[in-house]
Amino acid sequence: MHRKEPLSYDDFQWTADWIMSHTKHRPKVAIICGSGLGLLADGLQKPDSFPYSDIPGFPQSTVQGHAGRLVFGELKGKTCVCMQGRFHMYEGHSLSKVTFPIRVFKLLGVDTLIVTNAAGSLADSYNTGDIMIIRDHINIPGFSGISPLCGANDERFGPRFPAMSTAYDKGLRRLAFDICKTLGISRFVREGVYCMVGGPNFETIAEARLLHKLGVDAVGMSTAPEVLVANHCGMRVFGLSLITNKVVKDYEDKEAVNHEGVLGVSSMRSQILRTLVTELVGLMDVNNNNDAE
């Protein structure tokens, strides 16, 4: 049984109720795994795993590198849920479907969202394989009114006009940098601005130059809608971009990006990302404030 949009509070509650009836886990932390980064879910203890196709109301992921499973379990003593694969506008999903899991997570009791993605770098100082802690984002589709918050607002999730000036939690970013120093990986960890474009094509050179002038450090085709809805729901957010390629900004450059290359770099850095996220979850406070335990 699948319900049609527009989605109501009851639709989200229907899915949340199904999940709670199939697992005893009650997560406080949700992790969205980007392209090729599904290994993050493999570290969960006492896992319960559900294919998206088994979950009432859930969209389906169609992109290579996205397994399409929801995995519940424990990480460093904290109960988490991992999305092994996300949803994108370019797959034909509406943004209310792209962000459907976030509101379900809110009803499950999640108060912290960790988002990861594969992204191309526009910053001249970035290298392939770098990890960028997201300080802020630019949501290009949102500029034209393509937003998961369009339509009727349900105050049970959040306010009509949510602020986004603190979209990415400063305390969690600071904690992540401390962990990177401890792990000895600070040399390839950055902090910067992520930009979401619609895709599925990669950027033209003129588009890349424009985004560079706007102050964008890394560009991808996801993340902003989930972060927007998480903030609307009162969750704190931490975001990571794995730099999988350098975006071409020169007409003389003969390089061309492809999805297979993106997955290759994701595989190379997946273990380090898994360790970083695991340590972050272990040290964070799950009571929705900015202090580490």
Is residue 228 exposed (0-12), middle (13-18) or buried (19+ Cβ within 10 Å)?
buried
How many CB atoms sit inside 10 A of residue 171's CB? 15
Alpha-carbon distance 276 to 238, whole Å? 12
C-alpha span between 1 and 58 (Å, rounded): 11
Q: What is the 3-state secondary structure (H, E, C) of the chain?
A: CCCCCCCCHHHHHHHHHHHHHHCCCCCCEEEEECCCCHHHHHHCEEEEEEEHHHCCCCCCCCCCCCCCEEEEEEECCEEEEEEECCCCHHHCCCHHHHCHHHHHHHHHCCCEEEEEEEEEECCCCCCCCCEEEEEEEEEHHHHCCCCCCCCCCCCCCCCCCCCCCCCCCHHHHHHHHHHHHHHCCHHHEEEEEEEECCCCCCCCHHHHHHHHHCCCCEEECCCHHHHHHHHHCCCEEEEEEEEEEECCCCCCCCCCCCHHHHHHHHHHHHHHHHHHHHHHHHHECCCCCCCEC
Catalytically annotated residues = 35, 66, 88, 90-91, 118, 221-222, 245, 259
Report the distance separating Cα 180 and Cα 134, nearest Å. 14
- The residues pairing with 49 across neighbouring beta strands, listed in sequence order, are 71
